[in-house]
């Protein structure tokens, strides 16, 4: 139904162990996970398909956030890619406002404060990928319903043509019978007169 590329977790984290440690947690949970070495690689990975995206908050530069928001805005109606963002415990108004903007622009966002227990990280990723799998299933169901509707439309059109042809034939038969009855009526009237 879905390829493994469509179900993988794309990871863009700080340089160093954070990305590797996250990928290891995801893989131990049974998920396919890939480190993206740059924002460009992340966007390319999204185009190829993903089950979820894991990001460190500090990787979300203005340009990457713009690129991701553009990608999110172009998703088909069935799609709502989950983003898991690892944040700090900072609560300053500017940071809170930035996080709210992030949630609005990326739509399907879970914020996790660091440090995160591996089980929390894994369960979040599993839940995100499971939700994404349901989205891909919905895509398939929509395509099946669209095909069924097209087939039903074609069947209804064919049946309508058959009924119209039968109506034309019936009208022709009725007209022929009326003509014959009129001729019979005329010939009977002629016999009575003669």
Q: For each of the chain's 194 residues, which pLDDT tens digit applies?
A: 446 568 999 999 876 667 888 999 999 999 999 999 888 999 999 999 999 999 999 888 888 999 999 999 999 999 999 999 999 888 899 999 999 999 999 999 999 998 899 999 999 999 999 999 999 999 999 999 999 999 999 999 999 999 999 999 999 999 999 999 998 888 887 676 65
Q: Are 54 and 31 in contact (CB under 8 A)?
A: no
Tallying the residues shown for the chain, one arrives at 194
Domains and CATH numbers, the chain: 4-140 (3.40.50.2300)
> Rounded to whole angstroms, how far apart are CA atoms 110 and 108?
7
> Rounded to whole angstroms, how far apart are CA atoms 164 and 170?
10
Q: Are 81 and 52 in contact (CB under 8 A)?
A: yes
Q: Are 108 and 132 in contact (CB under 8 A)?
A: no
Query: Could you tell me the pTM of the whole model?
Result: 0.77
Token pair, residue 148, equals: 């069924």
pLDDT value at position 19? 81
DSSP classification of residue 37: S
């Amino acid at each position: 139904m879905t390829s493994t590329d469509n179900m993988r977790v794309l990871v863009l984290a700080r340089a160093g162990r954070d990305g590797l440690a996250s990928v290891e947690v995801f893989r131990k949970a049974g998920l396919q996970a890939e480190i993206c070495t740059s924002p460009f690689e992340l966007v390319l990975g999204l185009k190829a398909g993903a089950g979820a995206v894991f990001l460190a908050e500090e990787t979300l530069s203005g340009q990457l956030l713009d690129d991701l928001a553009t990608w999110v805005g172009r998703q088909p109606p069935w799609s709502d890619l989950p983003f898991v963002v690892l944040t700090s415990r900072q609560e300053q108004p500017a940071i809170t406002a930035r996080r709210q903007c992030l949630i609005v622009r990326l739509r399907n966002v879970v914020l996790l404060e660091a440090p995160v227990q591996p089980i929390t990280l894994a369960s979040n990723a599993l839940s995100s990928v499971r939700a994404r799998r349901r989205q891909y299933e919905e895509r398939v169901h929509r395509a099946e319903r669209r095909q069924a509707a097209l087939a039903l439309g074609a069947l209804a059109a064919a049946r309508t043509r058959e009924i119209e042809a039968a109506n034309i034939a019936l009208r022709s038969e009725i007209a022929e019978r009326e003509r014959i009855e009129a001729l019979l009526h005329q010939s009977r009237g002629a016999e009575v007169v003669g």
